[in-house]
Each structure stands twice: as C-alpha cells, then as structure tokens.
Structure 1
Amino acid sequence: MRSDLRRLTWACVLLTCGLSLAEPLVGPSVGRGDALLAEGTRLYNKRKHKDAAEVLLQATRANPSLLPAYLGLARARMGAKDVPGACAAYRAYVRSAPDIQDRTKAQRELALCERKLKAARRKKRNKVPPDMTARHVELKAGFFAALEEGRLVGPGAAGETLRTLVSEGYLGTDLGDMAARLSAASQSTTDDLHQRALAGEALPTARLRESGALFDLARDTGEPSAKAAAQAPFLEGLAALQSGDSTGAQRLFAKAASAAPERTEYRVWRAAALQRAGDLDGALTVLETDLPQDARTDVLRAASAQRKSPEAGARELERILFQRYAPATR
C-alpha cells in the first residue's frame, strides 16, 4: 500500500513538473527545478540512489544554474555505483560552485571518484565509458557556430547539436545560456516569418513547414511563446495551401483565428482557402460573418454575384461603387 502511494505521489510530481513524452531539452519545459531537487533529495535520503539520480538529472536540465542538483546527482550516482556519471556531475559542480565549504568537500569527493574511475578503467578497460570532455567541447563549438549562422533546425544545426549534448549526458550551467539563446533565436525567426507572411511575401513552402520545428524548439529550450498558438497553425496553413491542401489549410487558418481573434488576416486567409477549394459561397459566409464591413468582403460578394449571373454581378458592383463607397457630396 505504501509503495503504491509513493508511486502515485511521484507520478503527481512528474505531472506537476511538466515531464512529458515530448522530451523537452532544457529549461522550464522540463519541469520545476526546485520541485525536482526536493523529490530527488527525498529519494536519495531513502537510499533509492538510482531513482534519485534520474530525478536530479532532470533538475539540472530544468534549471542548469541550480548547483545543489549537481552535487546531489553526483552523490546519488556514486550510491548507484555509476562512477563515470558521478565524476561528471562532481566536475560540473566544482567548475561552477563558489568557494564555500560544500565545494571543498565536493573536491575531496571528486578526487576519490577520479581514483575509483581510474582503477575501473585499468580493470575493466573497454567496459568503462570513455571520457567525453573533448567531444563535448567540439559539440559546443559546433552549436555556437550553427547559432551564429542561423542554422537552427536540421542535421548539424544548433537544435540537433544541443539535443546531442543532452542525450550524451553533458552537464554544466552553460546549458542554460545555450538553451536560452537558442529559444530566443527560434522565436525571433518565427516572428520574422510570420510578419513577412502577413505582409504578403511569397515564402518557400519548405521554409513555412520548417516553422513547426522552430516553434517546438523554442518551447523545448525555454519559455513557451504565447503567440505560437496562433502563429504556428497560420504558417502551417500557408504551407498546406501552397501544397494544394485547401481543406487542411482552412482548418488551420480557423484554428489560428480562434487563438488570435484580433487578427483579421487569419479570417481572410481562411476565406481564401475555401475559395481556392471551390467553395466561394462558404468563403463569403466566413467574411460576411467575421468581417462584414471589410472591403475584401465586398470584393468577394461581387465575385460571388458575378458567378451567379452577369446581371447580378453588375448590380452588386453598382451597389459597391455608388452606395457602399459613394463619393462625398460637394
């Protein structure tokens, strides 16, 4: 009964902290660092070293500047007999910790860990994981080069490089800065794409589709953007429209319009998608409902009338020219 209760409690902590199958990389999307640290410490005190190490590792991802999480992780890994992992965590802590009593003690523990690691390498040879320091230095250099060049998503890009560092177990407070810069660059890029699309610029379909990965990357490396709920489906809708999927496009434009009701452009694009699919009456209904006083609604109304008959088109055009937009009386 108690073990079931503990499992339930831990599941609630994971849900509260935001851990999910989306595999966020670094930052708030991973969870709440302080909550993870508290749970990891609780597990460590119960001598559940392996479980504690898993949770404390997440704490270092959620908040890379949370130094006690590194020290706790190192000790939990030592308790779980993961000597190489413990040494990596000790190094990360000693590298960044201020010169206080805990750091001095951690240096002694690191020295002991290094001796054990050296002995294990002599004894087990190829069974002990290699030192990844040089590789991680190279990966970080590649990350900053890609970031500088604006290569954010795709093979060898900054996002993929950061994901590799995380998956290979890199530990360090600099992960926080790397993630924050990548998240900011991703959001800046999607904002630029969105503005250019709204201005009517013809953007390559591949570039529009890439925006989805950029929104995901921004979320997985920092604070989720409040604008993404509208911008993401809008850009995806444009990509669908350019690919000939008018039905999918109008659904996505409707989603964007629902997320940002103040953006009239999303409603116009939804109508355009319906018109592109051959549903001119449906497009007109959308604009008459959402934008009854908009000039673009008048244009579509005239086109709809013209399709019914030349006479109806002429009457609607006359109404627009001489009633809707009558010249000022002099």
Structure 2
Amino acid sequence: MRSEPRRWVVMCALLVSGLAAAEPLVGPAVGNAEALVAEGTRLYNKKRYADASGLFLKATRANPTLLPAYLGLARSRLGAKEIPGACTAYRAYVRSAPDIQDRTKAQRELELCERQLKAARKKQKGAAPADLTARHVELKAGFFAALEDKKLVGPDSAAEMLTTLVSEGYLGTDLGEMGAKLSAASRGATEELHRRALAGETLPPEQLRESRKLFDLAANTGEASPNASSQAPFLEGLAVFQEGDFAKAQGLFAQAATAAPGRTEYRVWRAASLQRAGDLNGALAVMEADLPDDARTDVLRAAVAQKKSSKDGARELERILFQRYPTAAR
C-alpha cells in the first residue's frame, strides 16, 4: 500500500522539503480562516483573482471545514484561468456542501468547468495536468496506516504523507481530521517521551532530538503542546548532555526551568551539567536556590568546600554526618 505513495514522495522531495519547516500544514497555525476568506473576497471583487486564490487556498488549510473557502477558491481560480485547479476546488465544495442553493449553482459551475477542462486537454493533446485523485487516495491510506503504526515523522511517516498531499494541492474537509489526529498523536508522543525521561530512563540522543520535530508537527497540524516551551529544551538538553556538551546542556535546562518554574527536575539537571562542566560553585548556587535541604545539595557543598581546602572539606563533611543527619539515639 505504501510503496506507491513513497515513490511519489521521493520524486517531489526537493519541492516539498522546505514546506513543513517553513509553514504550518493544517489548522489554526496557518491563519484565521474567516479573515482570509474576507480578504480573499475583497480581492476577488477587485478582480485580483490570482491574489484572491492564494488567500482562499490558505483558508482551506486553516480550517478545512469552512466550505465558503472552497467556493471562493474555485471561482478565483476560474477567473485566473487556472481551469484544472478550479475544477478541483469545485469538486471539493460540491462533495461536502449541503444541498442548498449555493451547491446547486456550484454544481452548474463545476459542469461548465469540466467542459472547459476537457476542451483544454483536447486542445493541448494530453499536456494538461494529470488527475491525481487515485494517488491522493493512496496517500491518505498511507497516512492512516503510518498513524496506526505510530510512525509520525521521517520516511514513510504520517507527516510525510500529509505534507505531500498539501504540497500537491489536495483539497478536502478530511484534511482537518487528518491534521487533528496527527497533532494529537504528536502531543501524546512527546508527553510519553518526557515522562520516560523524568522517570530516569536512558533514551538515545536521536530519539530525544526527534521530540523537537514532534513538537513542531503538533503545532503545524493542529494544536501546539501546552508544555512545548519547557519540555522541548529539556529533552534536547538531555541529548546534548549525553554527548558531553555540558555547557550547552545547562543552557537548555535553564531555558526549561524558566518556562516551568515548578519543575525542580530541570534545575537538578542544570546543576548536574554545571558540575560536569567543572563549575561546582554554579551548580551549588542552583541547588541552594531551589533545593537547599536536598541531600544532593549537601554533597555539592562538601565538594565545593573540599576544593577550597582539605580542612574546609573535612569540616563540611563532619557537619553533614553529625549535624545535618544526627545519629539516632540508642
């Protein structure tokens, strides 16, 4: 099932590669759909059909269930002499619109558009753009299969299938459902990864770094993770910590701690990074500010004292052993 969509994805990879990183795919992050339709309508009335077409197309991505966007797109494309694209937009509208007066009128306009398209193809002797309907059905099947397998990013992933559909101009209200499902799955995956990391599980750096793509994917297909501002730098910090870049790690942990002041774990990891980088005083300052009574803070105090002199170290160790944690009376 997925081999054919994958072949087409590879063929257009150079064209698509910047899309997901540069722009949101589907959902509110694309823009305000109603505002886009209003501006598109204004431009259409001024006969600026190409400009109106771009705004209506964006509106179909921002809210794939907003049907007026499809009709505005169809009419704008028709005005701009983009006959194949106009027919595609008309079909999307007629397929989903309720049986109302606008739909009846749109059906007639679609029939006219189809006749114009047929004439254009006959005149161009088959040079007109091919019908991608069957291929888009394959891509959608591949999307849901990848989603079920929890393959959200990377080759043959749900993100790749959805990106290809959008880049090729697929239109349909089902894009909203696809985006919402992918966004929810991405948020769930990052929450699980964060939970495992906090539980002390050692995760490979490449898996930790994949979380950044998942955070971006959630925002670009629907709803951003409410904890992305803290969880993303924390997980990336763990990756660079494992790779030995403790200076960068402590900066990322500091960013996470600033975004989520209630998460003391982020501060502990920052202190660990500072300690591994040789900054014992900095590590102790972090721990004393947030966890002054923690046993790990005492260990750092002893280490800092020992660095000053063996006498100071012995005195601090004595304080910890016999004053901080007094022996129970027998």
Farther-moved stretch of structure 1 (73-82 vs 305-314): 305-314
Could you say which structure has the greater relative contact order, defined with CA pairs below 8 angstroms and 6 or more residues apart?
Answer: 2
Provide the residue aligned with 1:157 in structure 2. 157
Identity across aligned pairs (percent)?
Answer: 72
1:233 paired to 2:233: yes
Provide the residue aligned with 2:274 in structure 1. 274
Superposed CA offset, 1:215-272 (max 9, x none): 1100101122220000000001111111111111111011001101110011110111
Tell me the amino acid that sits aligned with residue 303 of structure 1. A
Superposed CA offset, 1:176-209 (max 9, x none): 0000000000010000111111111100111001
Give the CA RMSD over aligned residues. 1.6
Residues 1-330 of structure 1 mapped to structure 2, 5 A cutoff: 22-326=22-326
Deviation at 1:78, TM superposition (A): 0.3
Cα distance in 1 between the residues matched to 2:51 and 2:245: 48
Deviation at 1:296, TM superposition (A): 2.0
Tell me the amino acid that sits aligned with residue 234 of structure 1. F
Tell me the amino acid that sits aligned with residue 296 of structure 1. R
Aligned residue for 2:182, secondary structure, equals helix
Cα distance in 2 between the residues matched to 1:189 and 1:262: 22
Farther-moved stretch of structure 1 (243-252 vs 54-63): 243-252
Superposed CA offset, 1:145-171 (max 9, x none): 111001111111111111110000000
Aligned residue for 1:127, secondary structure, equals coil
Query: Would you say the 8 A contact 2:184–2:223 is kept in 1?
Result: no
Provide the residue aligned with 1:11 in structure 2. none
Farther-moved stretch of structure 1 (313-322 vs 109-118): 313-322
Provide the residue aligned with 2:8 in structure 1. none
Superposed CA offset, 1:101-123 (max 9, x none): 11111111111111111111111
Superposed CA offset, 1:291-326 (max 9, x none): 222222112222333444444333222222332233
Deviation at 1:74, TM superposition (A): 0.4
Farther-moved stretch of structure 1 (89-98 vs 296-305): 296-305
Tell me the amino acid that sits aligned with residue 205 of structure 1. P
Cα distance in 2 between the residues matched to 1:124 and 1:214: 44
Judged with a 3 Å threshold, the aligned counterparts in structure 2 of structure 1 residues 329 and 41 are, in CA distance, closer, same or farther, namely: farther
Tell me the amino acid that sits aligned with residue 108 of structure 1. R
Farther-moved stretch of structure 1 (316-325 vs 45-54): 316-325
Identify unmatched segments of 5+ residues in structure 1.
1-19
Q: How many residues align?
A: 311
Aligned residue for 1:29, secondary structure, equals helix
Judged with a 3 Å threshold, the aligned counterparts in structure 2 of structure 1 residues 125 and 248 are, in CA distance, closer, same or farther, namely: farther
TM-score, length basis structure 1 = 0.90
Deviation at 1:329, TM superposition (A): 6.3
Aligned residue for 2:202, secondary structure, equals coil
